[in-house]
Chain A
Amino acid sequence: MSELAVDLTHGDAHHDDHADHGPQGWLKYLWSTDHKVIAMQYMFTGMFMALIGGFMAYVFRMQLAFPGIEVPGYFGSVSPGEYNALVTNHGTIMIFWVAMPVLLAAFGNYLIPLMVGADDMVFPKINRLSFQVFFVSTIVILASLVVEGGGFAGAWTAYPPLSADSTYNLTPLGSTLWLIGVGLEFVAFLLGGINFITTLMNSRAPGMRAFDVPIVVWMIVVASILFMLSVGPLLAGAIMLLFDQTLGTGFFNPATGGDPILWQHLFWFFGHPEVYVVLLPAMGVVIEIITTFARKKLFAYRTVIFTIVATGVLSFFVWAHHQFVAGIDPRMANIFTVTTLLISVPIAELCFIYIATLYRGSITLSTPMLWGLAFVAEFLIGGVTGIFLGAAGADIYFHDTYFVLAHFHYTFFPIAIIGTFAAFTYWFPKMFGKMMSERLGKWHFWFTIIPFNVIFIPLFVLGMGGQHRRIYNYQHFPELAGDGFQSMRIIATVALLVMLAAQFIFFYNCFRSWRAGAKASKNPWKANSLEWTTESPPPHGNWRPDRMPVVYRGPYEYSVPGREKDYWPQNEPK
């Protein structure tokens, strides 16, 4: 190791330099502008919401497998209205309050300044405001579940007229609070996104060129730009829907010259890029992990960048594939079929890049690597089944069946759960200064991945058999009530129970590692990017002000021929 890097190991004194800045104790956490503290706030809020979203899945899966059962822990059986509210808010929470805050906000906040060699975000106070708005939105969405009339139950896509008129949806307060909560959440991520983009653009360490930036940072920033450019029309749409709900305007009401299909366009113009908003950070995380644990240079760095930009551009031209049955012109449907099939090309390209990077690498199957590889394999199933749904002809049959549901769980679960566990186990030593237990980590991995497939493969089969979504009790439909179908529902529910129980292994592992794990060194994985050149956990300011890192090369110089060590940190001059 070079002298500069050795020097950095003696940086203990500066803990105290910063210790007495700003308020102390709990106030420190409420009012901190430190990007790492804000990242943790996003992370723990997101994990808390994941528990709520998971609990909802448990309740409605119990109802589907054993209709009418008194669900343990739910204070009774599930009424049809409650069932609809549960599935609606399960979707809303898992996407907007779990995938977004954890993958984009928590890891974006944590990694961007550390990976570009800065001491904080460029707008620390706006960053804090972003979390505060997000926190308020969390309270609003949770409140919407318990107000009179119950939570909003018109599906996470909130199509009018059901969502617009409380004489239809019977949840006057719940649906308005739901809408306000989602709107606030968008504002929070707009504030955060501006910070991410400008930090990457302007605050890179001296010497770090655009193509020396780790891919995960690129991915998070491109995702923020996609979010920013797609969410605007939906924010406008949310204002219109709010006026429809509260003032009685008729933007989406055909009786007064409005059009409910307009909402579908506004929603999916955002909704489809949103898939890539959460997908890209997860794909970036996996790139960091597989290069580190295959000890191999990333295959085709620049191609990855151009590919994700192409994906981003294409993602704005696919949205109407969600509306093939909404009465859109068949000629339009053809165009959107073609663009949808096209967008699978860059994503397939990324999968080939993963494989090419792994090829003849010296692979270590550590827990983060297992999660990373599982991401590629499972997402592939989600991607390939998407081709069927992107083609208008097949989609008209599959629309609103469990085939769609299984498809997007095969995309979102790898993104929001597998991707998050990959990132969390990989950066845990940096975040908390302790190593996680590999043994418990692998138990947790297998008891999550196997049940995941056991849950959703039967749902593909059920969907192809014609089982529609958003139905409270299939026993009411003779053609869906057969024993074959019901046994598949029971298999899925039992697998869900196993998967949820396995998460206790994860929480136990976190707690035990945090309390009694082996102390993590600065660079436990022998990785190259800048976050591994500072303490674990990094102090306030990340590096000593007089020892901010300088960058000499890209982040993926593993196993360079002629070098003694198989890695080459970005900040080492030689």
Chain B
Amino acid sequence: MRPIATTRAATGTATGKLAVWWVLASEVVIFGGLLASYVMFRLGHPEWADAAAVTNTYIGAFNTWVLLTSSLTAVLAHQAAERGDGKRAARWLYCTILGAATFIGVKTYEWWYEISHGYTITSNGFWAFYYSAAGLHAFHVIAGAVIMAFVARDAARGRELHRVELIGIYWHFVDIVWIFLFPLLYIAK
């Protein structure tokens, strides 16, 4: 039996949605602390631009496009869930997971290429931040995709459709973090 507490909504907003926003608030400060540290260091170390020049902006841009598209499919999943069409919502969520898989695949190639050319996490400060920040982000992409698979499985059977929106909110956050990472790590040479 679900507790009565879980059925109340004194604020008028569903409890799950409130919780997702608070999770994001805590995530914002985690990434915020990391990126603020990076920016402070970068301003003090103009020579890091040489290391940044090694990163491949085209691959980064492709991955940005992949993530943005996956956010679009997450929105389409939400739209389908709002109409009560669980099957279609699940299909769009699977598309989003495919986007996540593409992103991680490209990232793996990228890292393999850079590491095999001798640019590892211990090479210098830039690479330490590069692997830590992008790695923390990739960890969020993978975690989000796994949770999304569970949500999609339920949605396909018409259950817990409100969760489609919640995982969508989280997915947009993962997307926005990348929007900050891409210029900071790739474009700023």
Contacts and interface: CB of A to CB of B under 8 A. Distances in A.
B5 to A, nearest CB: 4
Interface stretch (B55-63, B71-79, B84-92, B118-126): B118-126
Contact of A194 (B8, B23, B30, B132): B23
A202 B18 CA distance: 9
A118 B132 contact: no
A382 interface: no
Given A199-B5, A204-B10, A232-B33, A123 B19 contact: yes
Contacts of B19: 122-123, 194, 198
A236 B30 contact: yes
A121 B5 contact: yes
A114 to B, nearest CB: 11
A237 B30 CA distance: 9
Given A194-B22, A257-B124, A262-B40, A203 B10 contact: yes
A233 B22 contact: no
A124 B19 CA distance: 13
Contacts of A232: 26-33
15 contacts: A118-B5, A120-B5, A122-B5, A197-B22, A202-B13, A231-B29, A232-B27, A237-B37, A239-B136, A240-B37, A247-B122, A251-B125, A257-B45, A257-B124, A541-B3
A441 B11 CA distance: 42
Contacts of B41: 257-259, 262
Q: How large is the interface on B (under 10, 10 to 19, 20 to 34, 35 or more residues)?
A: 35 or more
Given A121-B5, A249-B132, 16 more contacts: A113-B5, A121-B3, A122-B15, A123-B19, A193-B22, A198-B15, A202-B15, A203-B8, A203-B10, A204-B10, A208-B10, A230-B29, A233-B29, A251-B125, A257-B48, A259-B41
A250 B126 CA distance: 10
A478 interface: no
A199 to B, nearest CB: 7
Contacts of A248: 122
A256 interface: yes
A207 to B, nearest CB: 10
B33 A235 contact: yes
Contacts, number: 137
Nearest to A242: B132
A21 interface: yes
Contacts of B3: 118-122, 124, 541
B34 A250 contact: no
A236 B33 contact: yes
Contacts of B30: 232-233, 235-236
Contacts of B188: none
A236 B34 contact: yes
B125 A256 contact: yes
A545 interface: yes
Contacts of A243: 121, 128, 132
Chain A contact residues: helix, strand, loop or mixed: helix
Interface string A177-208: 00000000000001001100111011110001
A259 B8 CA distance: 49
Contacts of B143: none
B36 interface: yes
Interface string A80-120: 00000000000000000000000000000000010000111
B43 interface: no
A59 interface: no
B4 A548 contact: yes
A236 B132 CA distance: 9
B10 A201 contact: yes
Contact of A119 (B4, B9, B25, B125): B4
Contact of A233 (B25, B36, B48): B36
A266 interface: yes
Nearest to A112: B5
A256 B40 contact: no
B116 interface: no
A219 interface: no
B5 A119 contact: yes
A198 B8 CA distance: 11
B121 A247 contact: yes
Nearest to A228: B26
Nearest to B10: A204
Contact of A21 (B1, B36, B129): B1
Interface in B128-155: 128-129, 132, 136
A250 to B, nearest CB: 7
A511 B130 CA distance: 56
A459 interface: no
Contacts of B6: 120, 122-123, 203
A234 interface: yes
Contact of A202 (B10, B29, B34, B125): B10
